[in-house]
Amino acid sequence: MIINKILILDYSVDRSETSAIKRWLPLDLNVTSLFIDTKESFCDELINDDFTHVIHTGSALSITEVAPFTNKAVEYIKNARDKGVFQMGICYGHQLICRALIGKHAVQSSPNGLEAGWNNVKFVNSSTSLLGLRENETVWQHHYDEVTELPEGSELLATNQHTKIQAYINHEQRLFGMQFHPEFDKEAGDKIFVDDKSLREEYTYNVHDMIKRGPSFESGKVLFGFFLRMKA
């Protein structure tokens, strides 16, 4: 098997996730990206390719609704898990993996509403030694939905008061997921907040105050780097 042959499954409506993620990946990696918006996006032959690592991206879509590709994505995630492929989920992708492997009862609209901003998360259990992080770190958040149940054998890695499951790992099933977005640095993250009119108008967030904060570590470098080092 080719080591570190990467597949990015990009569920973002504006097709922004692939470029945000690729900037953190080594240039010598074999990286394929596919924009997913229909069931045809998941061709039946895709699972037969020899990808070692798959990244499921964030999206403006809600995991509580069935997208045109949902059933095919669920099938692919299950088959990839059974094949021993390492899978990383970010926000929507994290929720999609749990919906696929557990069921739709494992995800929900957050009872706490929207979480947006450069917010604190607490890294727990083995996460500080595993990832080389401090107990409290600041990451980029923008989500309405959440995961309520993890695949069997999972270890919680991060949490906060808004969303209990902020990150987890499952060594046996080769899963690594997070609710926050490691792909956005200070500049990219702030731009999204400034451009998002709904934050100001519908949710009455003070964007000026939001962008006063920033990440406490290079989340893309640390977390994508860790994922690519995951080996059988």
* CB 180 within 8 Å of CB 91: yes
* 105 catalytic per annotation: no
* 201 catalytic per annotation: no
Q: List, in sequence order, every residue forming a beta bridge with 176; answer none if it has no partner.
A: 88, 169
**CA dist list (Å): 221 to 9, 120, 217, 218, 226:** 19, 18, 9, 5, 8
- Pair type for strands 136-143 and 167-170: unpaired
- Choose, from 56, 91, 137, 142, the residue flagged as catalytic: 91
Rounded CA-CA distance 168/225 in Å is 16
Rounded CA-CA distance 93/100 in Å is 10
* 91 catalytic per annotation: yes
DSSP letters along 73-111, please? Answer: HHHHHHHHHHHT-EEEEETHHHHHHHHHHT-GGGEEE-T
Give the tokens for residue 195: 């451009």
Which residues does the annotation mark as catalytic? Answer: 91, 181, 183
